[in-house]
Structure 1
Amino acid sequence: MTKQLKLSEIVPDHLFGKRLDQVLAEMFPDYSRSRIKEWILAGAVKVNGEVNTKPRDKVLGEEQIDILADLPEEVRFLAEDIELNIVYEDEHIMVINKPAGLVVHPGAGNADGTLLNALLHHVPGIGEVPRAGIVHRLDKDTTGLMVIAKTIPAQTHLVEAMQAREIVREYEAICHGTMTSGGTIDEPIGRHPTKRTHMAVTQSGKAATTHFRVMEKYRAHTRLRLRLETGRTHQIRVHLSFNNYPLVGDPVYAGRPRPPRKASAELLAILRAFKRQALHAAMLRLAHPITSEILEWHAPIPDDMVQLNAILRADTAEHGFDLV
């Protein structure tokens, strides 16, 4: 379903000589530049009463702008009183530390009990913001930091910053295999050709870049720090699996556990019981969408990953690196 949007405004003189799409983005900051460009190309924008479908046309100032466009109506979800770990909040944005097991957005098999349902309860009016202010996602069993927009202008600016790769996200992970050094994985990611719920490195996919560095080496595992340039679905999980270093516990991309030889019963038990990908969004840095202040947050490593690191560290200290 859609609803019709009507906007009317006179172009200010100080925007003389700028492109039409740039002018409209400045005049109507509640809407993204990509959406405004779509409206222009679709013939939804009139300049002095005439339809203009050329985003690059220059304006002179004092033109009458009229926009008549269709907006998809947001599906209405129920507000639910679900506890959130709020790291930061002001009138424009919220940063949360998401636990494992919390689905971000309702979908097949998860109609409720999601982060979106929680936001509708905790933030009055956020239902008017597209996707209840969700700017980026974490997989159900990935923990860590997420930023939420509480207003449409904040969301518009955060989405644009994300697309421009201006938001910095760093992750902690534990993978199978012992890496010798850090590096960069620059491989396109798209839908798996036969397993439609999986992602894969494929030349028909979208560009994806993951930087990583080694934090600790264990006998048969590595603790990593990773930074994303892009935000493709399952990006870290797919990139590491493609390089034969899948995440511990990943139910989709890791296959069977790979314990080192002569591993203790305790280590074997922990590896078998680790049923989620060992991945945590540990750091988030961005320019505030309204004030432009540079803000940075850190989320402590969750207990299950702390425990896993500790026993892998102890196993390595006991056996060294020669019995992998």
Structure 2
Amino acid sequence: MSQQIELNGVVADHQYGQRLDQTLADMFPDYSRTRIKTWIQQDQVQLDGQVANKPREKVLSGQQVVIHAELEDDVRFEPEDIPLNIVYEDDDIMVINKPAGLVVHPGAGTPGGTLLNALLHYCPSIAEVPRAGIVHRLDKDTTGLMVVAKTIPAQTHLVTALQGREITREYEAVAIGHMTAGGTVEANIGRHPTQRIQMAVVPSGKPAVTHYRVMEKFRAHTRLRLRLESGRTHQIRVHMAHLKHPLVGDPVYGGRLKPPRSANPDLLAFLRNFKRQALHAVMLRLEHPISGEMMEWHAPIPDDFVALVEVLRADTKDHPDDLVWI
């Protein structure tokens, strides 16, 4: 069995001059480069309405990409009755508040138990939408807001809006170290040159921009509000680590524990047991893909994040002599 799919996108400015197969692999990361190359060679890809069947063809920024392809059901994802925290829903979209520990999409080592499986159970018709309507992802242990498309037209509009940086996503985080002011990180992100399961700031990576501002200062940590312009894998985590201020609890980029001096045993134990990156997608703003209405949602800070802030705040209050830097 197979299904017909349609993928749409626009070649970004930074992709100018890239090979067609590389560009499409960047635009549609849920499909392998081998599969994309096959689609190109089988005349299933169009650039500005013209068939493009040469994988090495160079693309131009602003070109409209349309892929009409047949997707073989080599992998069948099963519906699973997994609770969903639905913040908003209508006929076209859903906004989900994702908890920590929930993987967004099945993959190697995670064949089920994901948000995708939950969506298939909650809304069976979403099986007709590529990737069950998932437009963007959050890491397994990052919490907060995600938008899901319930129809192909809605997904097409949302993907285009995301690529055009027309969807606003803001996060809260707690970083290690003293950060006295906000700023912007503009640094390319790609695969780590030696640790292939990690991402890193590398010259050959994809352009990535993260804005951040300081919300609250503690003795040895900083609470941040961040806004993405791009959506690279692990972007906030990589950019903050690049600044030498990795996120508290980050198991990949966090490095060793760095508690404030003279920290009491309760604070030390809390930091040691905080096993996920302190990162929460707190705000999502977008234009509704069908009605055109501008919409905005906010997700409350999860309990473990609240507890982290409270223990750091209490520690700061208990050591006023250490606050000369604030």
TM range (shorter): 0.7 to 0.9
Report if the CA contact (8 A) 1:211-1:227 is conserved.
Answer: yes
Question: 1:161 & 1:172 partners in 2: Cα distance?
Answer: 23
Specify the code of the residue in structure 1 equivalent to 2:169: R
Report if the CA contact (8 A) 2:188-2:208 is conserved.
Answer: yes
Change (3 A) 1:295 1:197: same
> What CA deviation, in whole Å up to 9, does each residue of 1:1-41 have, x standing for no partner?
96668xxxxxxxxxxxxxxxxxxxxxxxx652459x98899
How much does 1:272 deviate?
Answer: 0.4
Question: 1:164 & 1:199 partners in 2: Cα distance?
Answer: 23
The runs of 5 or more residues in structure 2 that have no matched partner are 12-19, 25-38, 53-58, 61-65
Report if the CA contact (8 A) 2:189-2:200 is conserved.
Answer: yes
Question: 1:68 & 1:264 partners in 2: Cα distance?
Answer: 58
Question: 1:69 & 1:96 partners in 2: Cα distance?
Answer: 29
Specify the code of the residue in structure 2 equivalent to 1:127: A
How much does 1:214 deviate?
Answer: 0.2
The runs of 5 or more residues in structure 1 that have no matched partner are 6-29, 57-66
Q: 1:210 corresponds to which residue? A: 210
Specify the code of the residue in structure 2 equivalent to 1:143: T
SS at 1:107's partner residue?
coil
Report if the CA contact (8 A) 1:40-1:52 is conserved.
Answer: no
Q: 1:76 corresponds to which residue? A: 76
Report if the CA contact (8 A) 2:10-2:163 is conserved.
Answer: no
What number of residue pairs does the alignment pair up? 285
SS at 1:170's partner residue?
strand
Q: 1:254 corresponds to which residue? A: 254
Q: 1:280 corresponds to which residue? A: 280
Equivalent runs, 1:221-300 vs 2, <5 Å:
221-300=221-300
Q: 1:106 corresponds to which residue? A: 106
Query: Is 1:124 matched up with 2:124?
Result: yes
* Identical residues among aligned pairs (%): 66
Specify the code of the residue in structure 1 equivalent to 2:138: L
Question: 1:4 & 1:284 partners in 2: Cα distance?
Answer: 31
Specify the code of the residue in structure 1 equivalent to 2:117: N
Change (3 A) 1:68 1:202: closer
Report if the CA contact (8 A) 1:209-1:229 is conserved.
Answer: yes
Specify the code of the residue in structure 2 equivalent to 1:291: S
Report if the CA contact (8 A) 1:189-1:207 is conserved.
Answer: yes
Q: 1:18 corresponds to which residue? A: none
SS at 2:277's partner residue?
coil
Question: 2:84 & 2:208 partners in 1: Cα distance?
Answer: 30
> What CA deviation, in whole Å up to 9, does each residue of 1:129-180 have, x standing for no partner?
0000000000000000000000000000000000000000000000100101
How much does 1:43 deviate?
Answer: 4.8
> What CA deviation, in whole Å up to 9, does each residue of 1:211-261 have, x standing for no partner?
000000000000000000000000000000010000000000011111001
> What CA deviation, in whole Å up to 9, does each residue of 1:269-324 have, x standing for no partner?
11000000000000000000000100000000011110110111111111126289
Report if the CA contact (8 A) 2:10-2:160 is conserved.
Answer: no
Question: 1:275 & 1:216 partners in 2: Cα distance?
Answer: 22
TM-score, L = length of structure 1: 0.82
Equivalent runs, 1:28-39 vs 2, <5 Å:
31-34=7-10
Equivalent runs, 1:141-152 vs 2, <5 Å:
141-152=141-152
How much does 1:73 deviate?
Answer: 3.3
Question: 1:88 & 1:109 partners in 2: Cα distance?
Answer: 31
Question: 1:263 & 1:91 partners in 2: Cα distance?
Answer: 51
Change (3 A) 1:180 1:285: same
Specify the code of the residue in structure 2 equivalent to 1:72: L
Specify the code of the residue in structure 1 equivalent to 2:69: D
CA RMSD of aligned residues (A): 2.7
Question: 1:244 & 1:33 partners in 2: Cα distance?
Answer: 35
How much does 1:91 deviate?
Answer: 0.6
Question: 2:307 & 2:8 partners in 1: Cα distance?
Answer: 43
SS at 2:322's partner residue?
coil
Report if the CA contact (8 A) 1:43-1:52 is conserved.
Answer: no
SS at 2:297's partner residue?
strand
Q: Which has the larger radius of gyration?
A: 1
Report if the CA contact (8 A) 2:168-2:284 is conserved.
Answer: yes
TM-score, L = length of structure 2: 0.81
Change (3 A) 1:261 1:109: same
SS at 1:313's partner residue?
helix
